[in-house]
Amino acid sequence: MVRKACLLVSAVAGIMLTPNAWADFSHSGSLKNLSVGSRSPIDENYYFSNLSRLRLEPRYRYGAWRLDAAYDLEWITGSFLDSPEFALLRNSADPRYWDLQGNVYDSRDLVARHQLYRGTLQWRSPVGDLRLGRQQVNWSTALIWNPTDILNPVTPTSLEPDERIGVDALLWDRPWGALGRISAVYAPQHRYADSSKAARIKRYLIGIDIALMVGEFADVAKAGLSGSGSVADTGWRTEFVWSNPDAGNHYWQGVVDLNWAFPGGFNLAVEYFYNGQPEPQAGVDLARLLPTQPVYSGRHYAGLLAWQDISAFWQYRVVAIRNSDDASWVFYPRSTWTLPLEPEIYLTAGAQWFGGDDDSEYGRFEPVGLMEVQWFF
Selection from 225, 234, 307, 305 nearest residue 265 by Cα: 307
Report d(CA 356, CA 360) in Å as an integer. 6
What 3-state DSSP class applies to 353?
strand
pLDDT of residue 288: 53
Range among 20-24, 144-148, 276-280, 282-286 with highest mean pLDDT value: 144-148
The answer to whether the CB of 113 falls within 8 A of the CB of 74 is yes
Report d(CA 85, CA 94) in Å as an integer. 16
pLDDT in tens, 188-231: 999 998 999 999 999 999 999 999 999 999 899 999 999 999 99
In this model, does residue 163 exceed pLDDT 60? yes
Give the pTM.
Answer: 0.89
Domain count, the chain: 1
pLDDT of residue 78: 97
Lowest pLDDT segment from 4-13, 49-58, 236-245, 318-327: 4-13
pLDDT in tens, 107-159: 999 999 999 999 999 999 999 999 999 999 999 999 999 999 999 888 888 99
Mean pLDDT over the full length of the chain = 90
Type of residue found at 293: Q
Element (H, E) at 38: strand 25-39
Lowest pLDDT segment from 25-34, 169-178, 262-271, 291-300: 291-300
What 3-state DSSP class applies to 94?
coil
pLDDT in tens, 231-260: 999 999 999 999 999 988 999 999 999 999
- Backbone angles phi and psi of 267, in degrees to 5: -125, 140
CATH code where residue 109 lies: 2.40.160.100
Range of the domain at 40: 2-376
Q: How far is CA 338 from CA 50, 261, 310, in A?
A: 21, 23, 12
The answer to whether the CB of 250 falls within 8 A of the CB of 243 is yes
pLDDT of residue 289: 54
Neighbours of 126 (CB within 10 A): 6
Report d(CA 270, CA 143) in Å as an integer. 9
